[in-house]
Amino acid sequence: MSKGIWIVVEQRNAQIRKVSLELLSQARLIANETGDPLVAVVLGQNIQDLAQEVTSYGADKVILVDNEKLAEYTTGAYTSVLNKLIRKEEPNAVLIGNTAMGKDLAPRLAQRLGVGLASDCTGMEKDDANFLTFKRPIYGGKAFAQVATDAKPVMATIRPNTFPIAAPDAARQAEVVTEAAEIDQDDLRAILKDVIIATSERPELTEAEIIVSGGRAMKGPENFPMLEALADVVGGAVGASRAAVDAGWIDSKFQVGQTGKTVSPILYIACGISGAIQHLAGMSSSKVIVAINKDPEANIFNVADYGIVGDIFEIVPLLTEEIKKLVS
């Protein structure tokens, strides 16, 4: 029997990250074709209640590794535990979300296992040999590479918002296995002492389905509340170009681009952003792009699905009010 497709489920405070549910949903479709069992691997502390949730999204088997040393993500501990599990069970594929955790964990794990890694992928399918192949953007999103490997396990990180989340099936059943966490002292050379989380009612930038971003034309930090108002009306997150961040108008955690965060929302609204290559590399995979800029020759219009030529300080408030009417 095939040894399966593994999804490393990312959770925070016993809340599963959205990208993991996307991976489970898409991998379920592929597993139905290949005959592979779909296995969800969950590391953390007090995570037993998550077994049914990942089962409802398609898992045939759930592996739980519950240990106080795994309560918060640390590179050494998570890499060591997963390395031992994968060598023991020998799955065909291991998939991880391309989040901050995934980008830290996946390459270290691939190195330990001696296999390649397809990173930041925006497509996944099986080939004629039932192997997984992946699509990933290259050259700042100007082209796509089709990536395949003949080594097992096949490993990849998948960009958030790449796949739709299937409707959960509460009646679905799966085998649940609890594995011991074999963590050596050498695995704990870095120990996490504290986590400070900035609270916000808006979605996290990389997982948001709608993003409203501002650029150099915002003219100053005092004008970003205008974008926040629009984001709140549509239930989205706020982003920014590097120019706005470098000017000190908004924190770097909101930066979208090659040196910031890569996002793939359903809707990206670019307000006063010229469309530099660095910025396009971080958002060009958005499903729908709306650009608002007073310069009709701005590069952002070359990638936009819809463009509005005009003053953002007139258009954005008007757009916010019209959407409010529609929502109400």
| Domain CATH code at residue 122 | 3.40.50.620
129/58 same-domain check: yes
Calpha distance 148→145 (Å, rounded) = 10
Q: Are both 108 and 256 inside the same structural domain?
A: no
Residue 252, phi then psi, degrees to nearest 5: -65, -20
How far is the CA of 190 from the CAs of 77, 81, 85, 226, in angstroms?
Answer: 9, 15, 21, 41
State the residue range of the domain holding 258: 205-327
Asked whether residue 193 is assigned to any structural domain, the reply reads no
> Is residue 197 over pLDDT 70?
no
pLDDT band per the 50, 70, 90 thresholds, residue 85: very high
Could you count the other beta carbons within 10 Å of the beta carbon of residue 83? 18
CA nearest neighbour of 213 among 296, 308, 312: 312
Give the range among 77-91, 120-134, 223-237, 280-294 with minimum mean pLDDT: 120-134
181 and 302 both lie in a single domain: no
CB atoms within 10 A of CB 96: 28
Query: Kindly report the CA angle at 26 between 60 and 61, in degrees rounded to 5?
Result: 10
Clarify whether residues 141 and 251 are in a common domain.
Answer: no
pLDDT of 13: 85
Structural domains counted in the chain: 2
Residues 254 and 156 in one domain: no
In a domain, 85, yes or no: yes
Among 16-30, 99-113, 126-140, 216-230, where is mean pLDDT lowest? 126-140
Which of 143, 159, 188 finishes a domain?
188
Asked, for residue 200, whether it belongs to a domain, the answer is: no
136 contact partners, CB below 8 Å, separation of at least 6: 118, 119, 120, 121, 122, 123, 144, 145, 147
Band of pLDDT at residue 178, cut at 50, 70 and 90: very high
